[in-house]
Amino acid sequence: LFLPVMIAKLFPPIVLIAAGFSLIRLAKSNEIMAMQVAGLSLYRILLPIFVVATLFSFVALANQELLLPTLADKLERARTITFDESEIKDIFVEDQANGLVLRVARYDIVDETMKGIFILGMDREEKKMFTLSAKEGKWVGKDTWYLSDVTRHNYKERNWVPPAIIEKGLFFKTNVRPEDMRREERDPTLISMMGLLDLSRKQPENPKYPVFFYSRMTYPFVSLVFLLLGTPFILGFGTLRRNLFLGISATLCVIGAFFVVTVFCTNLGVTGYLHPILAGWTPLLLFILGGLLLFDWMGA
């Protein structure tokens, strides 16, 4: 279940590691030197690696866009069960389409069960029409909860109309679904680009979703940036070339810097201090430029 998540998170470093080991073997056997003596530039030698990395990047993008969103509910549920408490307390949820307000004392994520339920129903003028209290509510699907031990009070002109209606069980329809009971918003990494774009349109005042949308657009190119940044430290720069440990350490430092800048720009974008387009694309463009400069200094 977590394999698609691991692929999405770790694909760029995996590409760099795989390419790095291949280049190290070629360098140790002097094959790269032989190709350069034959007149091939380092750019031409590395072109097949970049092409293969690009193809696999789009496969990883398909995993991110097509597979992860379909597994989002299961992944979030598994994560909640594994790392958090399975019960959420004091939930307040609105169903604006049906004029409902739900207050739930406790919600069990595993069993999808509400306990201690109070529901307020209002008309279009937001006048109280009825209240429901129930001991327990179980999700049965198709926008329906089964409420047990229900007490209903009807109102007219804000006044209670007796008698109270008591039922042992009631199928109650609402747009409030189990995922709406969770306090945390869905992890943006589990939302497709179209989903992020749709959320951006629905919540124009919230810059978070546009930032993640533009960041997602850069995803296929991150592995290429890693190759641009890592290859010069593995193959070039005298001392680093002779000392594999130093080369790998320098590469990890540069990659770490990329993630730091990415997080920094994302936070600036989410808090509204940086335009979403700049927040999403600045780290990529900045480090692409840095990678090209490293290649130039290496004499590629």
Cis amide leading into 204 (omega within 30) = no
- Give the residue carrying structure tokens 């199928």: 171
Residue-wise burial string across 232-253, b where 16 or more C-beta atoms lie within 10 A, e elsewhere:
bbbbbbeebbeeeeebbebbee
Domain boundaries, given as residue ranges, for the chain:
3-82+191-298, 87-181
What percent of the chain shows pLDDT beyond 70? 89
State the angle between helix axes of 3-28 and 42-62 in degrees (0 to 180), rounded to the nearest 10: 170
Confidence of residue 120 (pLDDT cuts 50, 70, 90): very high
Summarize the confidence of residues 62-81 as an average pLDDT: 74
Reported as a pLDDT band with limits 50, 70 and 90, residue 184 is very low
CB 249 within 8 A of CB 186: no
For the chain, the average pLDDT equals: 82
